[in-house]
């Protein structure tokens, strides 16, 4: 198993990525082969501070960097030797089995959709976020920003992809799927939700439990919650800000600690033909380690095969 890691992505690159890799190696007796993609002149001198197993990593030189605020499409086109471009190239050509980056999110999304094929039948790849439920369980919300305008059939596919992910990666048996909406009954909501409801209800690949409201996001009403990416992104960032605010206000409680995105690491792009995981720009060691673990799990569980099976069946 080969996992590519963008060493130049994120605000704390490459040092925090290296720390995360160290932590991954320390905790895994039989680690995946890691491809450290980035400027070797920057990376190599730092390696003496770490003790990576020689046989378990390879440095892949990529002298360019796509900055956080560069225009995604233009940057990918112009910087073919950037760590992100090289990362996608390795993945697309089968030299790696997964790719991780905490770099320019837009470039990662564009690269995911254009360097790799979508899974057959997928209308729109999607990104998700973990939702810490009040009772200790974990929910999944999607889409959280890849698709700011959606059609009903997109939400219907998000439900399938979210269910496969929740079952295989989060370990939730027969995940309950809810449609994020305003009001409980069928027929409520905006035009999108009204049109999506009957599709979800008829969908035999999911365990649809109806509408969930804003107040249900954090409680155990649905495991997988689907909405358009505009709404989902606002909720995601609102939830992330709760962790920051409680931190700043020194409100210490394990519940809000669970809103710390570092615990999850990153979000996979679901619906494309290879595992790609996008991290937060401010990812530190823990986030990098968790992204590697997540990539490994996605490969081991053969998530993409399972997604395809559900989507075309």
According to CB under 8 A, which residues from 248 to 287 bind its own copies? 248-249, 251, 253, 255-256
Number of residues engaging its own copies in binding (CB under 8 A): 41
CB of 290 to its own copies, least distance (A): 21
| Nearest alpha-carbon partner for 91 in 162, 149, 4, 204 | 4
73 touches its own copies (CB under 8 A): no
Q: Provide the CA 294 distance to its chain's centre, in angstroms.
A: 9
CB of 20 to its own copies, least distance (A): 24
83 touches its own copies (CB under 8 A): no
The region of 141-149, 168-176, 284-292, 304-312 touching its own copies under the rule CB under 8 A is 141-149
The region of 19-27, 93-101, 165-173, 217-225 touching its own copies under the rule CB under 8 A is 217-225
State which residue, 149 or 202, has the beta carbon closest to its own copies. 149
Let me know: does 38 contact 86? Beta carbons within 8 Å. Answer: no
State which residue, 64 or 246, has the beta carbon closest to its own copies. 246
Let me know: does 105 contact 279? Beta carbons within 8 Å. Answer: no
Give the angle subtended at the CA of 205 by the CAs of 204 and 208, to the nearest 5°: 75
Distance CA 177, CA 210 (A): 7
Cα atoms found within 13 Å of the Cα of residue 110, Cβ hemisphere only: 16
Taking each helix axis as running N to C, give the angle between helix 152-168 and helix 303-312, from 0 to 180 degrees, rounded to the nearest 10: 140
123 touches its own copies (CB under 8 A): no
- Check residue 30 and report its DSSP letter: S
- Of 27, 134, 220, 300, the one binding its own copies by CB under 8 A: 134
245 touches its own copies (CB under 8 A): yes
φ and ψ at residue 47, rounded to 5 degrees: -65, -25
- Of 40, 240, 257, 310, the one binding its own copies by CB under 8 A: 240
- Of 1, 2, 15, 230, the one binding its own copies by CB under 8 A: 230
According to CB under 8 A, which residues from 178 to 197 bind its own copies? 180-182, 189-191, 193
Give residues with Cβ within 8 angstroms of 163, minimum separation 6: 175, 177, 205, 206, 207, 224, 310
Q: Which residues lie near its own copies (CB under 8 A)?
A: 134, 145, 148-149, 180-182, 189-191, 193, 213-219, 227-231, 233-242, 244-245, 248-249, 251, 253, 255-256
């Amino acid at each position: 198993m080969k996992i590519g890691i963008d060493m130049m992505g994120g605000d704390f690159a490459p040092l925090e990525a290296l720390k995360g890799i160290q932590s991954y190696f320390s905790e895994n007796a039989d680690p995946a082969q890691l491809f450290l993609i980035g400027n070797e002149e920057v990376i190599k001198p730092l390696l003496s501070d770490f003790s990576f197993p020689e046989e378990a990593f390879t440095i892949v030189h990529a002298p360019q960097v796509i900055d956080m605020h560069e225009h995604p499409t233009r940057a990918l086109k112009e910087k073919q030797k950037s760590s992100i471009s090289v990362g996608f190239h390795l993945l697309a050509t089968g030299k790696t089995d997964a790719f991780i980056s905490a770099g320019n999110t837009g470039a990662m999304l564009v690269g995911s959709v254009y360097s790799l094929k979508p899974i057959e039948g997928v209308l729109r790849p999607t990104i998700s976020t973990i939702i810490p439920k009040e009772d200790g369980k974990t929910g999944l919300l999607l889409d959280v920003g890849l698709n700011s305008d959606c059609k009903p059939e997109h939400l219907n596919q998000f439900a399938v992809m979210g269910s496969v992910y929740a079952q295989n990666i989060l370990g939730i048996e027969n995940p309950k799927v809810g449609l994020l909406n305003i009001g409980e009954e069928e027929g409520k909501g905006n035009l999108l939700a009204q049109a999506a409801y009957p599709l979800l209800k008829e969908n035999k690949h999911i365990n649809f439990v109806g509408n969930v409201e804003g107040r249900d996001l954090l409680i155990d009403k649905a495991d997988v919650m689907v909405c358009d990416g505009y709404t989902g992104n606002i909720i995601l960032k609102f939830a992330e800000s709760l962790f920051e605010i409680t931190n700043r206000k020194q409100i210490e409680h394990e519940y809000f600690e669970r809103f710390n995105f570092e615990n999850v690491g990153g979000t996979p792009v679901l619906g494309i033909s290879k595992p790609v995981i996008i991290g937060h720009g401010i990812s530190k060691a823990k986030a990098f380690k968790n992204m590697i673990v997540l990539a490994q799990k996605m490969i081991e569980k053969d998530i993409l095969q399972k997604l395809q099976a559900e989507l075309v069946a």
